Amino acid sequence: EEDQELLGSWGFEINESDPEEADPVVAIVGRPNVGKSTIINRIIGHREAVVEDKPGVTRDRVSYKAEWAGKDFTLVDTGGWEADAKGIDAQVAAQAEIAVAHADVVLLVVDAIVGISNTDEAIVRMLRRVKKPILLVANKVDAEHQEAEVHALWSLGMGEPFPVSGVHGRGLADLLDALLKVIPEHSQYAEPEALGGPRRIALVGRPNVGKSSLLNKLADEERAVVNDLAGTTRDPVDEIVELGDRPWRFVDTAGIRRRVHMAKGADFYASLRTQTAIERSEVCVVLLDVSEPISEQDVRIIQQVVDSGRALVLAFNKWDTLDEERRELLEREIDRDLAHVAWAPRVNISARTGWHKDKLVPALETALEAWDSRISTGRFNAFLGEIVAAHPHPLRGGKQPRILFGTQVSSRPPKFVLFTTGFLDPGYRRFIVRRLRETFDFTGTPIEISMRVRE
């Protein structure tokens, strides 16, 4: 229609892919140095496997679009974490576990020449519970005479090993042919935009804020339907809990319930799990412990949620411990440290007693509604027209950048693009965001505004 045409004239496309038709997902797991990246580079062609250079944990899983014999699929790499000598097995296994939970097919890569290591075995132990197709890839078989080495890999109990050479490309065609035989048409597990099904909630927060207490309070009393959600039987990654007459999917409850404590790598593991849970969720409940001052770690976790574009609810837990003095301090801490997320609904609860736990669902629903929301281009431009008329952009060097047109390009979270004749000052952009929030109720969702400038 008209909008689309106008956008097209700016070289801009609205891309609304159908989430129910996501390409099948293939996870590549294996310890460091077995050749995962090399194999991925071979499969995706000549493009470099660009590992996102983001600090922290978000770079740990990278996806690539791949294709074989006309069939599209997504390859998920699990490499790239810091090798910490002590915690490495646990970290590799955790990475693999999370990647595998959302894959339709798993490629387990081992180094056929070096043979099986303890880390390989740790990964295999995790994979034994997985009821998904797993192909065992015996890498570094560069020449035919090395194929004898491959027989030893039958002992892993992962079926027939496929000998390949990532470096030379040897054997990859056979491997990919075998992959196509087991791959589904569309992903059964892809995340996160899946429509339908229960909405996904992550309970996050630093250790001891009360995540597991809250989960127990909600689950035990509200008929938890714990089922086999990630394809693993003994340790479901997620749980469905019925709250307010509808089911909700709490993501990575395994991470909350299991309370892994490792001397080394524990922080890494915890922050990895937090980031992954955030990414897998639609709405995050960040718990804060009101018996202690709001900490940098609390603020950082809230920022992770905002940066990931998830809906946000703040739950101030352990309210039963609050006395008048602490309560006043808390109000000041909230003003000082949480002013930038004043748009997030706040609920005061006690996970221990269950007090106010019924306030959670309305807050979640409010936040999700805003997160899902769409404003028509007509309404949005009427809004822009009004604020520009009342508060035009200040003159800059005799010129005045004008907003020609704007549109919401996506939801979840709402993202807007403004088409302008010049760069808008950051202050003016903040003003627009503020007015947007005042005009359209965006309680509980981050919003994003970007610009397309035509000088």
Residues forming the site for ligand GDP (CB under 6 A): 30, 32-38, 79, 139-140, 142, 165-167, 205, 207-213, 256, 317-318, 320-321, 350-352
- Three-state secondary-structure class, residue 71: strand
Residues contacting 62, CB < 8 A, separation 6+: 49, 50, 51, 52, 76, 77, 80
CB of 107 vs ligand GDP, minimal distance in Å: 11
Q: Nearer to ligand GDP by C-beta: 33 or 297?
A: 33
CB of 252 vs ligand GDP, minimal distance in Å: 12
CB of 93 vs ligand GDP, minimal distance in Å: 15
CB of 313 vs ligand GDP, minimal distance in Å: 16
Q: Nearer to ligand GDP by C-beta: 34 or 447?
A: 34
Q: Do 223 and 306 form a contact (C-beta atoms < 8 A)?
A: no
Q: Do 442 and 448 form a contact (C-beta atoms < 8 A)?
A: no
Q: Nearer to ligand GDP by C-beta: 348 or 410?
A: 348
Among 232, 28, 30, 26, CA closest to 130: 232
Helix (H) or strand (E) holding 109: strand 105-111
Q: Nearer to ligand GDP by C-beta: 32 or 192?
A: 32
Q: Nearer to ligand GDP by C-beta: 161 or 210?
A: 210
- Three-state secondary-structure class, residue 136: strand
Q: Nearer to ligand GDP by C-beta: 62 or 243?
A: 62
- Three-state secondary-structure class, residue 296: helix
CB of 154 vs ligand GDP, minimal distance in Å: 20
Angle of helix 36-44 versus helix 172-182 axis, rounded to 10: 80
Q: Do 195 and 66 form a contact (C-beta atoms < 8 A)?
A: no
CB of 84 vs ligand GDP, minimal distance in Å: 15
Beta strands in 115-273 (DSSP E): 134-139, 161-163, 199-204, 224-225, 239-243, 246-250
Q: Nearer to ligand GDP by C-beta: 166 or 265?
A: 166
Query: How is residue 375 written in tokens?
Result: 């404003």
CB of 362 vs ligand GDP, minimal distance in Å: 19
